[in-house]
Amino acid sequence: MKSASELDAADALAPFRNLFVHATEESDLIYLDGNSLGRQPSAVGEVLERVVHGEWATRLIRGWNEGWLDISGSVGDLIGALINAQPGEVTLAENTSVCLYKVATAALKTQSDRTKLVTDSENFPSDIQILKSACSSAGHNHRLEVVDTSSGDDPMGQLVAALDDSTALVSLSHVSYKSGWRWNLGEVNELAETCGALVLWDFSHSVGAIPIDVATERVGLAVGCTYKYLNGGPGAPAFIYVSTDHPQLVNPVAGWFGSAAPFSFDPASPPATGIERFLTGTPHVVSAALVEPGVQMLLDAGIGRVYEKSVALSERFIELSDQQLANFGFEVRSPRNSHQRGSHVALFHPYAQAVGLALINEQSVIPDFRPPDLLRFGFAPLYTSFADVDTTVHRIVDVVESGGIDRWRDENPLVP
Ligand SMILES: Cc1ncc(COP(=O)(O)O)c(C=O)c1O
């Protein structure tokens, strides 16, 4: 195994680390939770200054005609460039939950002769709730089937078995929030297409870390968070992608910003024909503007290089965990095949929460915990170094050897 310092010295993406804010009082902090909330790009400060102190303070209402009106689409197009969508196929809107509801309901309504929506048990719990709501709203006795893929044995085989000619829609998270399992986009799309079903992807845990090519992988519908690997900030608006192959989809939450002429103030204004039809109300201008710097950095870095480093970082972490942590009761619970994994690695430990709290409070390492017994370590390639990986493993050993589990096992914070 090469040394971390050799790998960091040869890393073409290393300079990007300095384009993020690092608090000086925590210079040894290792942040491995970018799969939950990405670090802040330094350029965010300038954008905030421009939008809040420049545009809002001085241009006031004139701002709408000077870029705000189209901000969902212009930032959407940048995200589109990252996933090889055409201009006009991606928009920012609300949050992933609401976007998922809109697109799932729209898709189900176009499939009135088919009543089944298929997802899997490892999908994000809120997505499963939302998909249930979409079934209730679609109005054709739609029902949700949740395929139990929790064993991790042949999820694709289990999905194949669940699809039939009653399937209207398949909706999955490209990368599972817990184990990091990654579906093969092209394979699932082809399978669903053969059955006559649509597919709606949640790209929250893959966009910005894993290459996605919606054109060649024939992705029709997708949503995703912008506050994870896109580094858009807490509560940043989500994105919706609807391919131009699906003009028949109608936004079930129609409102003025999704209409062809919002400023006609005419309740009978027809829906817009492009992706704007999935908007509802006034866009979150300030938050939308803050999404741009993180996406631009990924475009500058090149998603191919980002992914190459993601694989190298996670493989190193897996190898070191096997060597140094297995004896302490840790077990890698993410797929070992990098083609089946996102950019985070889940480690099982019976006292995972206590280990996580000790890492955060005593060791300056931030992973996160998912109940009942998993720690997640997210490797955001633009700001994570190979030395971070090695140091993290050493600090985990330190926690266990120094009795950290006993010090933290009775704590139960509000956000795990
Ligand atoms: C895969 C996935 N989908 C959806 C969501 C929910 O996103 P939001 O709360 O922004 O609607 C999350 C949040 O972490 C997520 O991880």
User: For 236-270, what is each residue's pLDDT tens digit?
Assistant: 999 999 999 999 999 999 999 999 999 999 999 99
Is pLDDT above 90 for 414?
Answer: no
Q: Are residues 295 and 324 in the same domain?
A: no
How confident is the model at residue 315, as a pLDDT? 98
Which of 126, 179, 228 has most ligand 1 atoms within 8 Å of CB, for mutation? 126
- Across residues 166-173, what is the average pLDDT? 98
Q: What is the largest CA-CA distance in the chain?
A: 68
Asked whether 368 lines ligand 1 (CB < 6 A), one says no
How confident is the model at residue 319, as a pLDDT? 98
Which of 100, 103, 122, 124 has most ligand 1 atoms within 8 Å of CB, for mutation? 124
Q: pTM for the full model?
A: 0.97
How confident is the model at residue 112, as a pLDDT? 80
How confident is the model at residue 26, as a pLDDT? 85
Is pLDDT above 90 for 186?
Answer: yes
Whether residue 15 is contained in a domain is answered as yes
Exposure class string for 300-327: b at 16+ Cβ within 10 A, else e = ebebeebbebbbbbbbbbbebbeeebee
Residue nearest to atom 14 of ligand 1 (CA): 36
Domain that holds residue 375: 4-31+302-408
Whether residue 82 is contained in a domain is answered as yes
Whether residue 39 is contained in a domain is answered as no
How confident is the model at residue 21, as a pLDDT? 97
Q: Are residues 94 and 149 in the same domain?
A: yes
Q: Are residues 262 and 175 in the same domain?
A: yes
Whether residue 366 is contained in a domain is answered as yes
Ligand 1 atom closest to the Cα of residue 175 is: 1
Q: Are residues 128 and 233 in the same domain?
A: yes
Q: Give the model's confidence band at 413: pLDDT under 50 very low, under 70 low, under 90 confident, else very high.
A: confident
How confident is the model at residue 234, as a pLDDT? 98
Asked whether 96 lines ligand 1 (CB < 6 A), one says yes
Q: Please state, in angstroms and rounded to a whole number, the distance separating the CA atoms of residues 412 and 415.
A: 9
Asked whether 95 lines ligand 1 (CB < 6 A), one says yes
Is pLDDT above 90 for 125?
Answer: yes
Q: Are residues 142 and 154 in the same domain?
A: yes
- What would the pLDDT profile of 17-41 be if each residue is shown by its tens digit? 999 999 888 889 999 999 999 999 9
326 CA distance to ligand 1 middle (Å): 31
Q: Which of 300, 326, 347 is the C-terminal boundary of a domain?
A: 300
Q: Are residues 274 and 393 in the same domain?
A: no
Q: What is the CATH number of the domain that holds 361?
A: 3.90.1150.10
Average pLDDT over all residues of the chain: 97
How confident is the model at residue 301, as a pLDDT? 98
Q: Where are any strands of DSSP class E within 182-237?
A: 198-202, 221-224
Is pLDDT above 90 for 196?
Answer: yes
Residue nearest to atom 8 of ligand 1 (CA): 96
What proportion of the chain, given as a percentage, has pLDDT over 90?
95
How confident is the model at residue 100, as a pLDDT? 98
How confident is the model at residue 162, as a pLDDT? 97
Pair of tokens at residue 147? 């395929």
Q: What is the CATH number of the domain that holds 72?
A: 3.40.640.10
Whether residue 365 is contained in a domain is answered as yes
Q: Which of 300, 318, 338 is the C-terminal boundary of a domain?
A: 300
Q: Are residues 152 and 234 in the same domain?
A: yes
Q: Which of 269, 300, 331 is the C-terminal boundary of a domain?
A: 300
- What would the pLDDT profile of 358-400 be if each residue is shown by its tens digit? 999 999 999 999 999 999 999 999 999 999 999 999 999 999 9
Q: Give the model's confidence band at 283: pLDDT under 50 very low, under 70 low, under 90 confident, else very high.
A: very high
Asked whether 173 lines ligand 1 (CB < 6 A), one says yes
Residue positions annotated with a catalytic role? 124, 202, 227-228, 376
100 CA distance to ligand 1 middle (Å): 10
Q: Give the model's confidence band at 140: pLDDT under 50 very low, under 70 low, under 90 confident, else very high.
A: confident
Whether residue 413 is contained in a domain is answered as no
How many structural domains comprise the chain? Answer: 2
Q: Are residues 256 and 346 in the same domain?
A: no
Ligand 1 atom closest to the Cα of residue 96 is: 11
Whether residue 416 is contained in a domain is answered as no
Q: Are residues 148 and 195 in the same domain?
A: yes
- What would the pLDDT profile of 309-347 be if each residue is shown by its tens digit? 999 999 999 999 999 999 999 999 999 999 999 999 999
Residue whose tokens read 């939770």: 33
Question: Prior bond to 211 cis, omega within 30?
Answer: no
Ligand 1 atom closest to the Cα of residue 99 is: 11
341: number of Cβ within 10 Å? 24
356: number of Cβ within 10 Å? 28
Pair of tokens at residue 284? 């979150």
10 CA distance to ligand 1 middle (Å): 35
Q: Are residues 272 and 220 in the same domain?
A: yes
Angle at 414 between CA 236 and CA 310, to 5 degrees: 50
Q: Are residues 225 and 337 in the same domain?
A: no
Q: Are residues 86 and 186 in the same domain?
A: yes
How confident is the model at residue 165, as a pLDDT? 96
Whether residue 227 is contained in a domain is answered as yes
Q: Please state, in angstroms and rounded to a whole number, the distance separating the CA atoms of residues 386 and 317.
A: 9
Closest listed residue to residue 365, CA positions, set 397, 325, 410, 403: 397
Q: How many CA atoms lie within 13 A of 92 on its CB side?
A: 32
- Across residues 207-223, what is the average pLDDT? 98
